Structure 1
Amino acid sequence: MTEIDSFINDCKESGSMSNNTLKSYKCDLDKLQSYVSELGITDVAKISEKVLKDHLDRLKEKGYSPSTIARNIVSIKALFKHLVKIERVTIDASENLVAPKVELPKANVLTRKQVEDLLGMPDVRTAKGQRDSAMLELMYATGIKVSELVTVKVSQLDMQIGNILCKNNKTERIIPFDKRTKAVLSRYLQDGRRHLINRTDEELLFINYQGEAMSRQGVWKLVKSYAQQADIKVPITPEALRHSFAAHLVERGADIEAVQMMMGHVSPVSTNRYARENRDYIRDVYDRTH
């Protein structure tokens, strides 16, 4: 159906979705298109609530997991919201679709005080302390993954605007950071990093005393060490800072879809676990809630 292709193209051109989300939408809606084609339905306006429910039931029968079915429902709802908006249909056939309950491991989230205590531990009078402070601040301010953190280059930072380009498995997303993080990064770039690099053309943002790339294990050890110094009793890993970033945004009312984009989640099912209870530009959401 041309409406589905048009919807995907509109999402792509708007630039408001990550590549992972776009791929998920296309994959899910291709399944729907295949099913309705089997039924001989060629007009999107003829897709009823029953047709959608039968399609989801068939996915369940084929062995798709609850999380995958939940993601399909999100994609279908997004499509019909678009169709209603452009007045291609008058009734949203997806309105009453309910996602199956998806059990995800409970995220290890720190309190705001624990985060502040942790961020205050590095001795910023030293090059290492400035580096560690910048790493901790960036992890909490952006939710960046450790695998991205240890490979991020200086060129991926936009210090004027205040954002970072994260690259992971051929996907990219831009995440803003606040003035506090910008100040910590500036201090490290102008001072601490100069004492750690072995060559002036070094591209990596974070490096160790040998002038080499930081390892994920190295980041894990420094986070654990600072947590012990801060007398934080709960287990803390770099992933805990990432979870805390998302959870604290959601607690303050951030839009789930915006958080999903910043986290790089393919499905909002993963992001929803941070919610305890409207879509805008990420920068507006971030500035209002972080």
Structure 2
Amino acid sequence: MWDVYKKGFKAHLQLEKSLSENSVEAYIHDIDKLTQFLSFSEPELKPEQVNLKHLEKFLQWIGELGMTPSSQSRIISGLRNFYKYCQQEQISKTDPTALLETPRLIKHLPDVLSFSEIERISNSIDVSTNEGARNKAIIETLYSCGLRVSELVNLRLSCLYFDVGYIRIIGKGDKERLVPVGRPAIKYINIYRQNIRVHVPVIPGFEDILFLNRRGRKLSRVMIFMIIKDLAKKASIPKTISPHTFRHSFATHLVEGGADLRAVQEMLGHESITTTEIYTHLNREYLRNTLEQFHPSYK
């Protein structure tokens, strides 16, 4: 019974919402967890018969299993999307998730690199090698444009508009945005394109992908993580660094410099301004640390 609704929900996410395969699977897994719980307690219950009490017991169950508040919140989000679909398709007249409370989350601010730390990482790259020249372009692009790692590995030659100083990004849900690109990134991308990439035997299907491995294929997300981890080690930076650290640093440095939050939201490709507002918290932390370091009453 539920399987039919799951198939319909999956098609809705793929065709109408244009979500990535990973996002679609995550939503389906959320519904799977609910049906697994219901199979123990009320196996005959249909989607339209689920009410708030059922969902509260379900949350209690996954909490007792050790699921973190952030994971519980993500599952609630999945259930809300499912019941929006059910109402849209007239499967259910009511939304049992409407009054469901989301667990309170403790915000963990991400690690941010200072500009000097980013320079140390960039300067630790041996640009005399083919891979080094490519990695230099990768680091400069990550920091210059604040890209997600998936956006970086899928960046296309046809999306580079260096004559006007922009790149076109296809982000989450296939949403497109134009992002300004800095002169250092343009410089090192051009060096890579003109001196290294032209000599790589490109596998059919990857002709338009900018960053390639030595076998002519698109770089994997894991490979980008490994490159950055290795560079951080070479630069003797003890922080936990990932590709997303450069995105956080990009946004934080803009906010610290006085950039308009709406402009930062547009460049990051955040659907909601509330997602971008984490960087105002980072900015306040920066200001507090500055006060403690330089104000005489704090010394």
The equivalences for 1:90-239 within 5 A come to 90-103=93-106, 106-110=109-113, 131-140=134-143, 141=145, 142-144=147-149, 157-161=155-159, 162=167, 178-180=179-181, 183-184=186-187, 186-193=189-196, 200-201=200-201, 205=211, 219-220=228-229, 222=231, 238-239=241-242
**Partner-residue secondary structure (3-state), 1:178:** strand
Alignment of 1:257-268 (within 5 A): none
In structure 1, the partner of 2:50 is 47
Superposed, 1:2-13 pairs within 5 Å as 2-13=4-15
Q: 1:207 to 1:275 in 2, by over 3 A?
A: same
Matched, 1:243 2:241: no
1-structure distance, mates of 2:224, 2:56:
47
Contact 2:110/2:248 (8 A) holds in 1? no
Instruction: Give the Cα separation in 2 of the matches to 1:41 and 1:100.
Output: 25
Q: In 1, distance between residues paired with 2:107 and 2:60?
A: 22
Instruction: Give the distance between the partners of 2:240 and 2:276, measured in 1 at CA.
Output: 21
Q: Structure 2: how far apart are the matches of 1:22 and 1:273?
A: 26
State the Cα distance separating 1:106 from its structure 2 match.
3.6
| Total equivalences in the alignment | 237
Equivalent position of 1:26 in the other structure? 28
The alpha-carbon distance between structure 1 residues 61 and 133, as it changes in their structure 2 partners (threshold 3 A), is closer
Structure showing greater radius of gyration is 2
Q: Which amino acid aligns with 1:180?
A: V
Unaligned ranges ≥5, structure 2? 160-166, 256-260, 282-299
Provide TM-score, normalisation by structure 2: 0.56
> Of the two structures, which has the highest relative contact order with CA contacts closer than 8 Å and spacing of 6 or more?
1
Could you tell me how far 1:183 is from its partner in structure 2?
3.2
Measure, in 2, the Cα distance between the counterparts of 1:90 and 1:247.
45
Aligned mates of 1:274, 1:119 — CA distance in 2: 25
Of 87-96 and 114-123, deviating more is 114-123
Shift of 1:217: 6.4
Identify the match of residue 78 of structure 2 among 60, 72, 75. Answer: 75
Question: How far off its partner does 1:248 sit?
Answer: 5.5
CA separation in 2, counterparts of 1:71 and 1:144? 21
Q: CA deviation at 1:218?
A: 5.9
- Using the size of structure 1 for normalisation, the TM-score is 0.57
Q: Which has the higher helix share?
A: 2
Identity %: 19
What aligned pairs does 1:49-64 form with structure 2 within 5 A after superposition? 49-64=52-67
- Deviation of residue 73 (structure 1)? 1.0
Q: d(CA) in 2 for partners of 1:178 and 1:119?
A: 23
The 1:272/1:65 distance shift into structure 2, 3 A limit, reads farther
> CA separation of 1:103/1:43 partners in 2, compared to 1, >3 Å: closer, same or farther?
closer
Paired residues of 2:122 and 2:140 also in contact (CA < 8 A): no
CA contact (8 A) 1:53 1:97 kept: yes
Q: Which runs of 5+ in 1 are unaligned?
A: 167-172, 229-233, 261-270, 278-290
Please report how far the alpha carbon of residue 220 of structure 1 lies from its aligned counterpart in structure 2 after TM superposition.
4.2
